[in-house]
Structure 1
Amino acid sequence: MSSASARFRASRRTSHRPRVVVTRGETGLDAVAAGVRTTGGTALARPADVADARALEAAAARTEREPGPIEVCYPGYGYGPRAALRRKLPRDHGAVVQAGSALGR
């Protein structure tokens, strides 16, 4: 997912829960989290390689501990949906919103 998409999705104020942003580039990650904070939101940055299943499992586990259960996951690509679903399915609650475009090719 592009950083612009991440900033837009993370800044949507649908609840007062903190937004957790996970991506491999710490510079971009910090910029997205800072953008959420400038809109009055709370954002936690979690650096992880989205192509590394173990790294995303660790980020998801850390997120579940703080700030709490993952409610909505907007994955760009990689193992994000699997890590989120592994936690959501037993609770039977939450959403994974997968967006993509076939127009790029």
Structure 2
Amino acid sequence: MYVFGYFLQALATVLDVVLTLAMIVVIARAVLSWVSPDPYNPIVRIINQFSEPMLFQVRKRVPYIGGIDLSPLIVLLIIMFLNNFLVATLERLAHQMIQGG
């Protein structure tokens, strides 16, 4: 059973890295929205391409409130929840399987 425990531990680590990168991309997108960056800049385009699918799903469900887009804040809260709940749960399960109890 310890092999499955190591698999869960590796999965939790990879998920943690992916969620952290997603958080960085969403924060970068929010910061870029405060300035007017060159839309043809490759870095700006990559940030937009990675963040837009996450933000679009929230924008469909949450309207603008007073002209303020709350979708980055909501996406960040979802990412933080997943990181604190899902990753921690996977790590705990992995540890219990590795320790045998």
What is the TM-score when the length of structure 2 is the normalising length?
0.24
Name which one, 1 or 2, has greater alpha-carbon Rg. 2
Q: Counting strand residues as a fraction of each chain, which structure ranks higher?
A: 1
Q: Could you say which structure has the greater relative contact order, defined with CA pairs below 8 angstroms and 6 or more residues apart?
A: 2
